[in-house]
Amino acid sequence: MSADDEAPEPDAPAGTDDEDAPAKLFGEWEVTDIDYADPSTERYITVTPIAHTMGRHAGKQFQKSEISIVERLINRLMQTEENTGDKQKVMRITRDAFDIVHERTDENPVQVLVSAVENAAPREETVRLKYGGISVPKAVDVAPQRRVDQALKFIAEGVYNDSFKTPTDAEEALANQLASAANDDVSAYAVNQKEEKERVAAAAR
């Protein structure tokens, strides 16, 4: 038997198994196997492990729906006087809020966010139509993409209202909003705003 035949097989390179593993959001949250309860908004709620795309979507109309719903939430939360442009700060708030959500619900916070957006997305709203100089409210269906936009807006407004000039931290307020909206709790600001919009629309049919 030759020396080559007696030589042991080389070990597999370290990390070979990890290279095929899917990336995780913030390094810890899975973005696969997300359940969607609303088929109309599913194509507009994109889930990716990337939370900061450096504004690559900004140059094309409606391309915002192709970036992660987490980054869209972060961008919405930045639209306040205190957090404008400070994306790293808002990303830290979101990361901490996800940890709080996981501790409370023992669920993937990405799944909780998707459920919250679906529950806070209004299906009807009103527009103003003019008939002979008279403005009349009219109920209309909301486009799926606008439904997602409105849901993110309501969640961000609820976080701002709960945390601005109050003892509640922003991450705690965000965790409260996400957990409550995911449970379709009408006491959550986002769900309450959705119900109000649909109530007004129902009266204008």
Tell me the per-residue pLDDT of 98-146, one tens digit each, with 9 for 90 and over. Answer: 999 999 989 999 999 999 999 999 999 999 888 888 988 899 999 999 9
Give the percent of the chain with pLDDT over 90.
50
pLDDT of residue 8: 47
- Report the alpha-carbon distance of residue 198 to residue 205 in Å, rounded: 11
Q: Is residue 40 part of a domain?
A: yes
Q: Rounded to 5 degrees, what are φ and ψ at 130?
A: -105, 125
- Name the more confident of 66 and 178: 178
Amino acid at 33: D
Q: Is residue 125 part of a domain?
A: no
Please state the domain count of the chain: 1
Q: Is residue 205 part of a domain?
A: no
- Name the more confident of 119 and 17: 119
pLDDT of residue 21: 55
Give me the CATH number covering residue 159. Answer: 1.10.455.10
* Domain carrying residue 149: 22-120+144-185
Instruction: State the alpha helices, DSSP H only, in the chain.
Output: 3-6, 16-19, 69-77, 87-105, 109-120, 144-163, 170-182, 189-203
Q: Is residue 202 part of a domain?
A: no
Note the pTM of the prediction, 2 decimals: 0.82
Q: Is residue 191 part of a domain?
A: no
Q: Is residue 60 part of a domain?
A: yes
Q: Is residue 5 part of a domain?
A: no
User: For residue 183, what is the DSSP state?
Assistant: T
Q: Is residue 100 part of a domain?
A: yes
- Report the alpha-carbon distance of residue 79 to residue 98 in Å, rounded: 20
Tell me the per-residue pLDDT of 102-112, one tens digit each, with 9 for 90 and over. Answer: 999 899 999 99
